Chains A and B, each alone.
Chain A
Amino acid sequence: QKEVEQNSGPLSVPEGAIASLNCTYSDRGSQSFFWYRQYSGKSPELIMFIYSNGDKEDGRFTAQLNKASQYVSLLIRDSQPSDSATYLCAVKEAGFQKLVFGTGTRLLVSP
């Protein structure tokens, strides 16, 4: 069974702080890694993806990947109350289109 593990949270951070969200995966064949954000009652939306080891930055968001450790993380700098949501980690195997999701980490950013 291919698994993607996340701490369910909630992770509480004050406004302006850095939020660090973590994810581990079991399948070494995984090639692509995604972070989706899901507001309560809404559908997931893609915010970041990463293929290669190292860091990828997009605005306030940084995705980090370590394939040897099978570990993916998402850093949110200068957290805002509007970042409060559930963050879903997902992985995809090479040659396959399906995404396997973790159960998500709930992030709460307090003003």
Chain B
Amino acid sequence: DAGVIQSPRHEVTEMGQEVTLRCKPISGHDYLFWYRQTMMRGLELLIYFNNNVPIDDSGMPEDRFSAKMPNASFSTLKIQPSEPRDSAVYFCASSFGGAIEAFFGQGTRLTVV
């Protein structure tokens, strides 16, 4: 299995632009998580899905952030408009049901200038 696949690996964008981050979970996994990691705040859960349905989006910082999971093999995290404080590494992770381990993708390093 290729693991959790995220794209792009790096994104540099100007303030005010729309940014879309993409994630392909491990096949057969029914949970998908989006995390954001910064030096100051560590790894923060933004939102997670179960069977493509958003379960908890309490970590989404504000209305500029939105996430979708149109099918079991694809999810997007969109930021519109982007701001410099959104600069961080965004991780997608997936897991299966009651399994112990969540597997992380390689992350997308976002820089907003």
Contacts and interface: CB of A to CB of B under 8 A. Distances in A.
Interface in A31-79: 32, 34, 42-46, 49
B106 A49 contact: no
Q: Say what secondary structure dominates the interface of chain B.
A: strand
A48 to B, nearest CB: 10
A97 B50 contact: yes
A98 B104 contact: no
A88 interface: yes
Nearest to B102: A99
A101 interface: yes
Interface stretch (B11-19, B41-49, B60-68, B74-82): B41-49
A85 interface: no
Contacts, number: 43
Given A43-B105, A101-B42, 10 more contacts: A42-B106, A43-B104, A44-B43, A46-B100, A97-B48, A98-B45, A98-B48, A99-B33, A101-B45, A103-B43
Interface of B: 31, 33, 35, 41-45, 48, 50, 55-56, 91, 95, 100-102, 104-107
A97 B95 contact: yes
A98 B100 contact: no
12 contacts: A32-B100, A34-B100, A43-B105, A44-B43, A44-B91, A46-B100, A49-B101, A97-B50, A98-B48, A98-B56, A99-B45, A103-B41
A43 B48 CA distance: 18
A34 B44 CA distance: 15
Interface of A: 32, 34, 42-46, 49, 88, 97-104
A105 B57 CA distance: 27
B100 A88 contact: no
Given A100-B45, A101-B43, A103-B41, A45 B31 contact: no
Nearest to B106: A43
Nearest to B100: A49
Given A42-B106, A46-B100, A46-B101, A103 B42 contact: yes
Nearest to B33: A98
